[in-house]
Amino acid sequence: MASDRRTSGTQLEDQGIEIKASSRVRETVGESGHVNATSYNRLVLLTGEVASEADRTAVEQAVARVENVQSVVNELAVMGTSSLGSRSSDVLIKGKLKASFVDARDLFTNAFKIVVERGDVYMMGLVTEREATRAAELASGVSGVTKVVKVFQLITEDELARKLPPPRPADPAASNP
């Protein structure tokens, strides 16, 4: 029903940020780490694993210099890269979580961007406090989830009402046989 709450221009900017950030990550740590840069509304979430604290800091600084990035949330872990099994489990957790959002019917799935790393769930989006709380409750109930991290940008209920599309008028031809 509701689409992404970002403007189409911001969505395009976020895609560009992710491409540029990934390039900066490769330039900074090469293949020695496993780093994901996820952008939502110009806020970049860094997840994954790097070999050292110096790499963790260098990646954050490199990504912060990408054009249009407003802020960076650095959730990189200093450890060996996650296994294929761990990443497969993360994909399964993400699928279960998205399904629980659809089943809940009181959340707009497209309002959220979900990242899962090593069982930790990171949730991004332009959401109300009510939606943030509900999403965190649902995420914590999914099997395999070890931690829920809210990286939301909060909006008021009034701001949400302005972002939602207006209801469509009834089609009079459809009601007359």
Structural domain boundaries, residue 142: 84-163
Evaluate if residue 171 carries a pLDDT over 80.
no
If asked whether residues 60 and 124 sit together in one domain, one would say no
Confidence of residue 75 (pLDDT cuts 50, 70, 90): very high
CA-based end-to-end distance of the chain = 27
Band (1; pLDDT cuts 50, 70, 90): very low
User: pLDDT tens, 86-101?
Assistant: 999 999 999 999 999 9
Give mean pLDDT, residues 142-156: 97
Phi, psi at residue 83, to the nearest 5°?
A: -80, 165
Q: Please tell me the total count of domains within the chain.
A: 2
Q: Is pLDDT of 151 > 80?
A: yes
What integer pLDDT is reported at residue 166 of this predicted model? 64
* pLDDT above 70 (res 169): no
If asked whether residues 127 and 144 sit together in one domain, one would say yes
Give the pLDDT mean for 62-83. 97
Question: Is residue 56 in some structural domain?
Answer: yes
Determine the average pLDDT of the residues in 26-53.
97
Give residue-wise pLDDT tens across range 6-22.
999 999 999 999 999 99
Are 112 and 99 spatial neighbours (Cβ–Cβ below 8 Å)?
A: no
Does any domain span residue 173? no
**What is the C-alpha separation between 147 and 121, in angstroms, rounded?**
6
| Count of all residues that appear for the chain in the document | 177
Q: Give the Cα separation of 124 and 45 in Å (integer).
A: 9
Claim: this prediction has a pTM higher than 0.95: no
Q: From 60, 78, 96, give the residue that closes a domain.
A: 78
pLDDT for the residue 36 = 97
Pick from 46, 78, 110: which residue ends a domain?
Answer: 78
